Amino acid sequence: MPFHTHTLPNGLTLVGEESPAARSVALGFFTRTGARDERPEEAGVSHFLEHMVFKGTERRSALEVNLDFDRVGADYNAYTSEENTVFHAAVLPEYLPQVIDVLADILRPSLREEDFAPEKKVILTEIAKYEDQPGHVLYERCRALHFGPHKLGNSVLGTAASITALTRDQMAAYFDRRYVPSNIAVVVTGRFDWDRVVGLVSDRCGGWPAGDAPRDGVGETRGACEFAVVPTSKWQQEYQMSMLAAPPTESRLRYAADLLATVIGDDPGGRLYWELIDPGLAEGADMGYQECEGAGVYYVNVVGEPATAQRCLDTVRAVLAQVQAESITAEELEQARSKVLSRLVRSAERPKGRLSAVAYAWIYQKQLRGLDDELAAFRAVTLADVRTLLDRYPLTGATTVALGPLEKLDRT
Amino acid sequence: MPLDIFSHTFPNGLTLVAERLPHVRSAAFTLTLPAGSAQDPEPRLGIANLLSELVVRGAGPLSSEALATALDNLGLDRSESVGLYNARFRGVGLGTNLLPALEIYADVVRRPHLPDDELDPVRALALQDLRGLEDDPPSRLMVELYRHAYPAPLGNDHRGTEETLSAITIDDVRAHHAATYRPKGAILAVAGDVQWDALLDGVGHLFGDWQGAADTSLCFGPTPGRRAHLTRDVEETQIALSCPAVPFTDPDYYAAQGAVGVLSGGMSSRLFTEIREKEGLCYSVSASYQTLKDRAVVLAYAGSVNDKAQRTLDLLLRELGKLREGVTQDEVDRVIVTLKTSQIFQQESTSARANSLASDWFYLGRVRPFEEIRAQIEALTPAKIVAYCERHPLRDFVVATLGPAPLDVPADA
């Protein structure tokens, strides 16, 4: 087995998957915190904090942080989701110690007031950028409507108002609350010396004070099942998104959900492709599956001309209703499986491609799952599983939002 | 050539080039044909793009649906696209499925059905794409920039216009296929879990008897002026600049990449540090390099909230102009290690390697060995980059903006 795990006394967990033949190594600090863990007055703090992590520590200024990454040729970045904040880098194996040094250092950021103000401007400019993207605006609206008061509806970016109002001390308090070692997993994939990694991480992170960061508001939701049309003259195309309840990360049905979404919404080849894209009715039509802790969602997206938007909406409803009633065929299941297996194999050929897979298997299920385990799990999905999935998470009762020139659409 | 790279040019002018990569199960292919948008007749702009979408809608013995199903059953992720010079068909899947996939693509490019009743749907998608472009300010801006950076037809967008797309008939499409989907100058690049002998044999059977050459000559039109502004009601002003650079084939190519690396190679690079980190003006700011056969450009891009856009443009011009004053050894060291690392990352990806093989062969007529590229990267020095900026100054910019109001651009910028 190429897997290793180790837990420090303060609760920080290390997970490694070795590929001796790999030419690079990927490393990530996965913090189990995101938009769903924010109080209303903290809206956007997880993401703003993600930025501030790069702005310096006791040992390093912001410039020195970036210099130290660039001096080892690191391909590095970070992201914030509804429930995770991840700092990751891929490097050549000989530079892993330096990358561990920088990442471990910045995970205890100074959050200096003189860096806070300029970075707030960057966040506001990022918010402005996304306001110009109809897909993003739609995503935020639909999530908020679907989830309602459920914390998974919290916006990752926050709003211009909430970010403007946020203080450095509020961010520091959030950091102390959420960035505790027991809430962080350090994951490494590719070519590395495990003992060396454990030694370095223990040395740099072993002194972090222990603590707990429980997560509340975890639970399933059917979603609001509401329908909203948002007219705007800002865009030419009509953008529609539907959301439906789907299996959470804990559920063994998540593999079936992935395959079902592929059957219905893969581009090209899914049912929506043939119904909407092939005849030129929609510019884009796809379905995806996102699993979170305690709740999952399907997304169905359609983009097209306003003139065909009603027809597209009706078609989406009809396709989902038909699959709900009759399930999918054995052939469709096999085709989807072929595609998904092929993508998994490809992704696994790069350490960077394995990093998230290994991390989330650990974070969500406390499992060590290699590529072959994932392939086996997808191979094991049967039509009976798909029927069970459809019965427990029906494709009816979507929350739908339409954004674009149209004033009106029929819900039916 | 290195041990793991193979090539063969068939008598019809098609070149097969392949790289065996160890420890992978996937194989990727990039098939390029001399059927790019630069060959679109003026009244039929967008035809190459339409054709690339139509050829997959039924070919050889397979209907549109049967063809898609066959490729899906092979687990092939795939795309069709059109650049200025070439139509490109890309696919990646398990290595064991490569030859069966290529068999289908031989039908796609040589024996497409091009049925009457598929033209309207494909045209509808192309028209939708044009509408969607208006909703995507950064992409819309880049279309405008290229229109000003290069003379027609190089500055034309592959999408065409509503007028030209509406005029295209199925006979036009069939004629365009017959004229441009030809083997001379075509490249089939493959990377990953491949067996050369079987591949050469298979490709020979599939494409060996294909004949003909497309006319790839270009007739240049005028280049519009160097300033463009699109007035749009957006939250974020878009700014793009370009200036002439040396093409990929030029010995100075690596120095040009070095200059771009100093400007934009990582988060400690000049543009990010001066414009984003220090002044908080932008979320996105970057420089890049883009090459054509006989010319190239250095590009710079920034997105800025509207009331900071002027300052952003001023700083962008300042930083681009400053490069010739000097570059430090530490900056160059960072560029070198970043480029060397990127090279290794590329080796990990079968599809990235297939694209690189095709690109090398198209521009150079050979594949650059790994060690050659590495040596060129390692040979970069501050003096070389500064000397490049002396020979090819970063000035005389095309400046394109998209936002509520135009910006002040110095006449000599």
Query: CA-CA distance, A114 to A133, in Å (whole number)?
Result: 31
Length of chain A in terms of residues written? 412
Residues 271-290 of B with CB under 8 A from A: 272-273, 276-284
Is a pLDDT exceeding 60 seen at residue B1?
Answer: no
Query: Cβ of A66 under 8 Å from any chain B Cβ?
Result: yes
Q: Is the dihedral of CA A140, B305, A124, A89 positive or negative?
A: positive
User: Do A281 and A359 form a contact (C-beta atoms < 8 A)?
Assistant: no
With b for 16 or more beta-carbon neighbours within 10 A and e for fewer, the B355-378 pattern comes to bbbbbbbbbeeebbebeebbebbe
Supply angle C-alpha B324, B330, B333, rounded to 5: 100
List, in sequence order, every residue forming a beta bridge with A18; answer none if it has no partner.
Answer: A190
Give pTM, 2 decimals: 0.96
Provide the CB-side half-sphere exposure for A18 (13 A, CA): 11
Query: Cβ of A367 under 8 Å from any chain B Cβ?
Result: no
pLDDT at A349: 94
With b for 16 or more beta-carbon neighbours within 10 A and e for fewer, the A28-63 pattern comes to bbbbbbbbbbbeeebbbbbbbbbbbbbbbbeebebe
Query: CA-CA distance, B52 to B56, in Å (whole number)?
Result: 7
Alpha carbon of A135: minimum distance to chain B alpha carbons (Å):
10
Helix axes A330-347, A371-379, angle to 10 degrees: 170
Query: CA-CA distance, B377 to B258, in Å (whole number)?
Result: 8
Average pLDDT for B233-252: 97
3-state secondary structure chain A: CCEEEEECCCCCEEEEEECCCCCCEEEEEEECCCHHHCCHHHCCHHHHHHHHHHHECCCCEHHHHHHHHHCCCCEEEEEECCCCEEEEEEECHHHHHHHHHHHHHHCCCCCCHHHHHHHHHHHHHHHHHHHCCHHHHHHHHHHHHHHCCCHHHCCCCCCHHHHHHCCHHHHHHHHHHHCCHHHEEEEEEECCCHHHHHHHHHHHHCCCCCCCCCCCCCCCCCCCCCEEEEECCCCCCEEEEEEEEECCCCCCCHHHHHHHHHHHHCCCCCHHHHHHHCCCCCCEEEEEEEECCCCEEEEEEEEECHHHHHHHHHHHHHHHHHHHHHCCCHHHHHHHHHHHHHHHHHHCCCHHHHHHHHHHHHHHHCCCCCHHHHHHHHHCCCHHHHHHHHHHCCCCCCEEEEEECCCCCCCC
* pLDDT digits 0-9 by tens, A117-126: 999 999 999 9
Using the structure block, give the residue that is written with the tokens 């069939």. B174
What ipTM does the predicted assembly reach? 0.94
* pLDDT digits 0-9 by tens, A338-367: 999 999 999 999 999 999 999 999 999 999
Is a pLDDT exceeding 60 seen at residue B380?
Answer: yes
Which helix (H) or strand (E) element contains residue B314?
A: helix B309-322
pLDDT at A65: 97
Query: CA-CA distance, B161 to B47, in Å (whole number)?
Result: 10
CB–CB of A345 and B341 under 8 A? Answer: no
Average pLDDT for A131-153: 97
* pLDDT digits 0-9 by tens, A300-348: 999 999 999 999 999 999 999 999 999 999 999 999 999 999 999 999 9
Interface test with B, best of A70, A138, A263 (most B CBs within 10 A): A70
Q: Which two tokens stand for residue A247?
A: 């299996």
Is a pLDDT exceeding 70 seen at residue B368?
Answer: yes
Query: Cβ of B404 under 8 Å from any chain A Cβ?
Result: no
List, in sequence order, every residue forming a beta bridge with B40; answer none if it has no partner.
Answer: none
The yes-or-no answer to whether B5-207 and B227-403 have a common fold is yes
A50 is catalytic: yes
Q: Is the dihedral of CA A357, A363, A365, A367 positive or negative?
A: positive
Backbone angles phi, psi at A59, to 5 degrees: -90, -20
Supply angle C-alpha A46, A198, A182, rounded to 5: 35
Q: Is the dihedral of CA B36, B37, B42, B43 positive or negative?
A: positive
* pLDDT digits 0-9 by tens, A221-267: 999 999 999 999 999 999 999 999 999 999 999 999 999 999 999 99
Which helix (H) or strand (E) element contains residue B281?
A: none
Confidence of residue B2 (pLDDT cuts 50, 70, 90): low
pLDDT at B175: 98
CB–CB of A122 and B342 under 8 A? Answer: no
Helix axes A96-106, A62-70, angle to 10 degrees: 160
The shortest CB-CB distance from A75 to any of B26, B69, B345 is to B345
CB–CB of A22 and B348 under 8 A? Answer: yes
Q: How does the average pLDDT of chain A come out, rounded?
A: 97
Average pLDDT for B151-164: 97
CB–CB of A349 and B348 under 8 A? Answer: yes
Fold held by B5-207: Cytochrome Bc1 Complex; Chain A, domain 1 (3.30.830)
CB–CB of A280 and B125 under 8 A? Answer: yes
The shortest CB-CB distance from B280 to any of A24, A73, A121 is to A121
Is a pLDDT exceeding 70 seen at residue A1?
Answer: no
Domain ranges of chain B: 5-207, 227-403
* pLDDT digits 0-9 by tens, B166-222: 999 999 999 999 999 999 999 999 999 999 999 999 999 999 999 999 999 999 999
Residues 52-71 of B with CB under 8 A from A: 64-65, 68-69
Percent of chain B surpassing pLDDT 70: 99
Enumerate domains of chain A plus CATH numbers. 3-205 (3.30.830.10), 227-404 (3.30.830.10)
Q: Which two tokens stand for residue B374?
A: 């590495």
Residues of B in contact with A343 (CB under 8 A): 75, 77
User: Do A316 and A302 form a contact (C-beta atoms < 8 A)?
Assistant: yes
Query: Cβ of A189 under 8 Å from any chain B Cβ?
Result: no
Q: Select from A299, A285, A309, A300 the least CA-distant residue to A237.
A: A309
Confidence of residue A165 (pLDDT cuts 50, 70, 90): very high
Query: Cβ of B167 under 8 Å from any chain A Cβ?
Result: no
| Beta-strand runs (E) in B223-338 | 227-231, 236-245, 282-291, 296-305
Query: CA-CA distance, B373 to A175, in Å (whole number)?
Result: 44
User: Do B28 and B191 form a contact (C-beta atoms < 8 A)?
Assistant: yes
Catalytic residue among A50, A238, A275, A332: A50
* pLDDT digits 0-9 by tens, A167-190: 999 999 999 999 999 999 999 999
Helix axes B64-73, A330-347, angle to 10 degrees: 50
DSSP state of B62: B
pLDDT at A80: 98
Query: CA-CA distance, B238 to B137, in Å (whole number)?
Result: 7
Fold held by B227-403: Cytochrome Bc1 Complex; Chain A, domain 1 (3.30.830)
Query: Would you call B191 helix, strand, or coil by DSSP?
Result: strand
